[in-house]
C-alpha cells in the first residue's frame, strides 16, 4: 500500500520539505534509477543526491520513470570542490541540472566546507544569487561546524539547511544547537548509523515493542520528532516501505530523551576541517 508522508518542515517563503527523504549513496546506474523509481512509487517525495555520488543522471532517470509530476517532488543535490567560488556555484548548478535532466532543484547544498580553500562564504553568496534569480528554490550547506556556519551568518547569509551526520551514537548537539540558534534546519544523513548494535538498546527496543515498530523505525521517528529532516538510504522494497511507515505514531518526550542519552560524544565519522572534495 502506498504510504503517503504526513510530516513536512517549513523552510520559509512557503517552502515545505518532506521530513523523510530517500538517500541514494552509494547506488549507481540502473540500480540507482530503479531504486528511485520504486521509492517514489512507495511514496517518497524527497530525493537526495550529489555530484560526488556519481548518480545524479540515474536519479533523474528514476524520477522520469516514476511518472510522478516533478512539481510533486523535492530534489536535493550538492556541489563539490570545483564549485567553490561565486561563479562556480552557478556553474555547478547548471551542470547538475544537465546531468539530472531537470529544470530546477528544490535545494542545492555545499557538500563540504573545504576550509583550506577558504571560499565557502562566497560560494554561499553565489547560491543566494541563484535563489534570488528564481532559478533555485533554496540553498544550504553540509558538514559545516558552528564556526564555519557563523562565518556564513556574519556575511548576512542564512542557509535553509545544514546536512550533517546524526544518529543515536553521534548526536552532534553543539552543531544542532548552532543550527537552531541561527534558524537553520538540521538534516541527518546516515540517520540509522553504520553499526547497528545500538538498535538492541532498550531505549529503542522498548518503544519498538510499544508501538509495534522496528528499532530502525523508532530511530527515524526520533529524528522527525526532534525536528530534523532524515534521509535514509535503501534499495530494498521492504526497507523503503518500512522507513515510510513511521507516520502513525509519535514518541513521548521521555522516549526521545532516552535515545538522546545514547550519544557517545564522538564526533562525526569525517572531520570537515580536514576532509572535503
Kindly list the structural domains of the chain, giving each domain's residue range(s) and its CATH number in brackets, ordered by start. Answer: 8-260 (3.20.20.100)
Question: Is-contact 61 100, C-beta < 8 A?
Answer: no
Active-site amino acid positions: 53
- The strand pair at 8-12 and 15-18 is best described as antiparallel
* Alpha carbon separation from 108 to 19, 45, 68, 161 (Å, rounded): 16, 16, 21, 10
> Residue 59 in contact with residue 38, Cβ under 8 Å?
no
Mean pLDDT, 10 residues at a time, the chain of 277 residues: 69 93 94 97 97 95 98 98 97 98 98 98 98 98 98 98 97 98 97 88 98 98 98 93 96 98 94 94
**Count, residues in the chain:** 277
Rounded to two decimals, the pTM is 0.96
The whole-number pLDDT of residue 177 equals 98
Amino acid at each position: 500500500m502506498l504510504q503517503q508522508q504526513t510530516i513536512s518542515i517549513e523552510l520559509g517563503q512557503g517552502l515545505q520539505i518532506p521530513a523523510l527523504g530517500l538517500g541514494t549513496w552509494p547506488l549507481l546506474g540502473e540500480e540507482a534509477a530503479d531504486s528511485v523509481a520504486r521509492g517514489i512509487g512507495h511514496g517518497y517525495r524527497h530525493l537526495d543526491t550529489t555530484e560526488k555520488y556519481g548518480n545524479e543522471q540515474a536519479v533523474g532517470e528514476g524520477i522520469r520513470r516514476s511518472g510522478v509530476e516533478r512539481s510533486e517532488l523535492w530534489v536535493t543535490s550538492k556541489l563539490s570542490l570545483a564549485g567553490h567560488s561565486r561563479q562556480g556555484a552557478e556553474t555547478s548548478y547548471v551542470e547538475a541540472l544537465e546531468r539530472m535532466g531537470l529544470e530546477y532543484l528544490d535545494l542545492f547544498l555545499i557538500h563540504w566546507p573545504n576550509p583550506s580553500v577558504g571560499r565557502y562564504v562566497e560560494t554561499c553568496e553565489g547560491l543566494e544569487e541563484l535563489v534570488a534569480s528564481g532559478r533555485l528554490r533554496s540553498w544550504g550547506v553540509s558538514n559545516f561546524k558552528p564556526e564555519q556556519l557563523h562565518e556564513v551568518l556574519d556575511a548576512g547569509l542564512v542557509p535553509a539547511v545544514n546536512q550533517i551526520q546524526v544518529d543515536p551514537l553521534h548526536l552532534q548537539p553543539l552543531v544542532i544547537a548552532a543550527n537552531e540558534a541561527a534558524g537553520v534546519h538540521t538534516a541527518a544523513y546516515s540517520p540509522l548509523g553504520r553499526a547497528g548494535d545500538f538498535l538492541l538498546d532498550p531505549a529503542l527496543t522498548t518503544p519498538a515493542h510499544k508501538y509495534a515498530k522496528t528499532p530502525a523505525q523508532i530511530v527515524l521517528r526520533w529524528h522527525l520528532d526532534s525536528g530534523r529532516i532524515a534521509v535514509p538510504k535503501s534499495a530494498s522494497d521492504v526497507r523503503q516501505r518500512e522507513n515510510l511507515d513511521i507516520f502513525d505514531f509519535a514518541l513521548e518526550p521521555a522516549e526521545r530523551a532516552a535515545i538522546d542519552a545514547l550519544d557517545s560524544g564522538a564526533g562525526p565519522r569525517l572531520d570537515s576541517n580536514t576532509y572535503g572534495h
